Chain A
């Protein structure tokens, strides 16, 4: 059982939950994730840990309420409990002093990019943060990202806030400035990560991405989260979730993420009838 300590809607349909999970808070390192299962009937939902507080014994996750599972999770009130919480899972990010790091977060991906950017900053790197979102109200963790970035650049697809355009537009400009960039971290929707990798491949910059395929156990047992990296099958839960972005077969990832689209409609319909 993990108690919900605080809950905030930080953007439309986007929920931040702080959970009481002392063992995980103590152990967790940036880049790792937890799996939450709300109740007896719930799905196992993998979520990257955005923040943890070892003293307080809490972890923070941020997610979008897109399916029946996340909608259920997002409505657990403060003081309510989540039946099963397991972690920390996955390999932590390889945090090193490399020089200059560009951290690109797209949409909800910023919740994953933030702890990594924060650790990269703490390791002595110069961090250039890029945060992108569809529209103004979906820009999340702006202040947090600003606090760990030497420079923060924001884009919105519709131009409703900051710079109009895509994260790749800004990234190209940063690269064009001629400053040496040692590593790019890109976390967000598949099209965004794919686009970032295309830009950095051309520029010859090492790029790390964090992948979020469908998974069940998170310990290597089911093989549902398999991804194709450099032509090899890897399990995101135990071999990742971070991989060399230039080696990822994005078509496979995109395809496998769509496996249960039809099921999701049924589940959401049922969720709506039961909860309204």
Chain B
């Protein structure tokens, strides 16, 4: 057997490098699912660099050869943006990586992001025929490979765009929903401006998901791509404050898409939550990622580098915070979760990476109080043991406290990662926009249309905190609905001249 090293120049010699199984593909012997080479644990916990290196062309080709090329591919049904999965994998198997990348990009505007952070195991890969007998095709890893290949070889071609429609659309929020919606609309010939509250575009992709899981340069490239397509990005513009939705409509936008996400962190409401050293996961990750606090004082934003850090919650964000704490120098980074492992909402891969890195898990533990020292700094977390009772509304078994089981974990930092509510800036300032009692915007699931004319919404602001790909799916469906709405309901036909457009705007 020949050892084929991935041709990545940056790959350290010590890297654990999976060997592609070089057996010729036949019905008798299908190669196993190929692993991605990744940074060794001992090294990666000391840096913020991306953990997996991605497939080499050899590994990608081998993995692609596992695809059965089903006539009726179930995997596509599992993809919220309907990527032609067998189609692009066929291209990879034929070593035509650029065609593969183009095909993915035709329905997925952020493939390098999705290839990294999508929960494929619950979506496309869960429906793969091979999954029934063993391991599914590694669709996500292949998606990542083709988009990385295209980016690294500087061959990102622009897709054809429709002639200018004369319509203007404002997209509020530059996270996954907004960027996807903007990308689709600009391809349809509309003039698109994206408004972002922060100083960098990408939403949760830049402030939330850490560098070691999604390098910011990749988000930057995806944003550049949209700009090259003609999307205008207006940073430092918190709509609701800098301008209201009504002012956008009055200023000449024919439609507005709201994709402002779930950006209002929940706290637990237990005593001690205001001690120094208690962070929301949003704040902790924003300091570390967006503001680069791990480079303090070269970068101006500080962060408390705890030695013993408790992260409360069991989702992907909690895993991100726990692994960030480790990289900031924590000796013990401990996930505290009130249910058991089976109920943890985080992706298996994220839990696996966290475990590999030495993250500790205190399961069936519910925080009841944060303890502080004389100067108001965190010195401990008091928890109560739980046991699982009957299933609750979510179908998960409800945690029930064990009376008298209180115990204290010695920690100096606590990161609260128990979810986010909808950001209030737009609901508070947009009359006529109906929201749920929790503040989520009420919108049609298929079209994103809201109670307010010409205003559409999608992503976490509608559904509550969910995944990147679901937000992208909503952005894509809303773009189609906005396109249809403009063409059907607006006076200005796509063929009208610029002079007529100006009149309509006035």
Question: CB of B357 within 8 A of chain A?
Answer: no
- Which residues of A, 84-139, contact B by the 8 Å Cβ criterion? 84-89
> Contact check: which of A86, A238, A264 meets B199 at CB < 8 Å?
A86
Verify A233–B199 contact, CB threshold 8 A. Answer: no
> Contact check: which of B207, B263, B275 meets A220 at CB < 8 Å?
B263
Verify A259–B424 contact, CB threshold 8 A. Answer: no
Question: CB of B23 within 8 A of chain A?
Answer: no
Closest B residue to A228 by CB, please name it: B274
Verify B197–A86 contact, CB threshold 8 A. Answer: yes
Verify A89–B297 contact, CB threshold 8 A. Answer: no
> Contact check: which of B238, B243, B298 meets A219 at CB < 8 Å?
B238
Question: CB of B481 within 8 A of chain A?
Answer: no
Question: CB of B82 within 8 A of chain A?
Answer: no
Distance from B228 Cβ to chain A, minimum over Cβ atoms (Å): 22
Verify B267–A270 contact, CB threshold 8 A. Answer: no
On chain A, the residues within 8 Å of B237 by CB distance are 86
The docked-state distance in angstroms from the alpha carbon of A89 to that of B241 is 6
| Contact status of A88 and B241, CB under 8 A, knowing A220-B423, A223-B265, A255-B274 | yes
On chain A, the residues within 8 Å of B267 by CB distance are 223, 226, 233
Verify A233–B273 contact, CB threshold 8 A. Answer: yes
Q: How large is the interface on A (under 10, 10 to 19, 20 to 34, 35 or more residues)?
A: 35 or more
Verify A44–B301 contact, CB threshold 8 A. Answer: yes
Verify B298–A256 contact, CB threshold 8 A. Answer: no
User: Which applies to chain A's interface (DSSP): helix, strand, loop or mixed?
Assistant: mixed
On chain A, the residues within 8 Å of B238 by CB distance are 86, 89, 218-219
The docked-state distance in angstroms from the alpha carbon of A115 to that of B235 is 27
On chain A, the residues within 8 Å of B297 by CB distance are 68, 263, 266-267, 269-271
Question: How many chain B residues touch the partner (CB < 8 A)?
Answer: 41
Verify B286–A217 contact, CB threshold 8 A. Answer: yes
> Contact check: which of A72, A223, A258, A269 meets B283 at CB < 8 Å?
A223
The total number of A-B Cβ pairs within 8 Å is 120
Verify A252–B274 contact, CB threshold 8 A. Answer: yes
Distance from A244 Cβ to chain B, minimum over Cβ atoms (Å): 18
> Contact check: which of A41, A238, A263 meets B425 at CB < 8 Å?
A238
Distance from A26 Cβ to chain B, minimum over Cβ atoms (Å): 10
- Which residues of B, 227-244, contact A by the 8 Å Cβ criterion? 235-238, 241-243
| Contact status of A259 and B304, CB under 8 A, knowing A85-B236, A224-B283, A238-B425 | yes
Question: CB of A69 within 8 A of chain B?
Answer: yes
| 9 A-B pairs closest in CB distance | A263-B302, A43-B300, A222-B283, A223-B280, A86-B236, A221-B263, A84-B199, A255-B376, A223-B265
The docked-state distance in angstroms from the alpha carbon of A252 to that of B264 is 21
Closest A residue to B423 by CB, please name it: A220
Question: CB of A56 within 8 A of chain B?
Answer: no
Q: List, sorted by A's number, 13 A–B pairs whose CB atoms are closer than 8 Å.
A: A24-B242, A41-B298, A44-B199, A86-B199, A216-B283, A218-B238, A221-B197, A221-B423, A222-B286, A223-B283, A233-B269, A263-B296, A267-B300
**What 1/0 flags go to B252-293 for Cβ under 8 Å of A?**
000000000001110101000111110110110011000110
On chain B, the residues within 8 Å of A87 by CB distance are 241-242
Seen from chain A, the residues whose Cβ lies within 8 Å of a Cβ on chain B are 23-24, 27, 37, 41-44, 68-69, 72, 83-89, 216-224, 226, 228, 233, 235, 238, 252, 255-256, 258-260, 263-264, 266-267, 269-271
Verify B302–A83 contact, CB threshold 8 A. Answer: no
Closest B residue to A252 by CB, please name it: B274
Verify B276–A270 contact, CB threshold 8 A. Answer: no
| Contact status of A222 and B296, CB under 8 A, knowing A44-B301, A255-B276, A256-B276 | no
Closest B residue to A40 by CB, please name it: B299
Distance from A83 Cβ to chain B, minimum over Cβ atoms (Å): 7
The docked-state distance in angstroms from the alpha carbon of A176 to that of B292 is 53
On chain A, the residues within 8 Å of B298 by CB distance are 41, 270
On chain A, the residues within 8 Å of B243 by CB distance are 23, 27
Verify B286–A216 contact, CB threshold 8 A. Answer: yes
> Contact check: which of A41, A72, A83, A221 meets B286 at CB < 8 Å?
A221
The docked-state distance in angstroms from the alpha carbon of A68 to that of B302 is 11
The docked-state distance in angstroms from the alpha carbon of A218 to that of B242 is 12
Verify A221–B282 contact, CB threshold 8 A. Answer: yes
Closest A residue to B276 by CB, please name it: A259
> Contact check: which of B274, B300, B423, B425 meets A256 at CB < 8 Å?
B274
On chain A, the residues within 8 Å of B249 by CB distance are none
On chain B, the residues within 8 Å of A270 by CB distance are 297-298
**What 1/0 flags go to B178-206 for Cβ under 8 Å of A?**
00000000000000000001110000000
The docked-state distance in angstroms from the alpha carbon of A264 to that of B424 is 32
On chain A, the residues within 8 Å of B302 by CB distance are 260, 263-264, 267
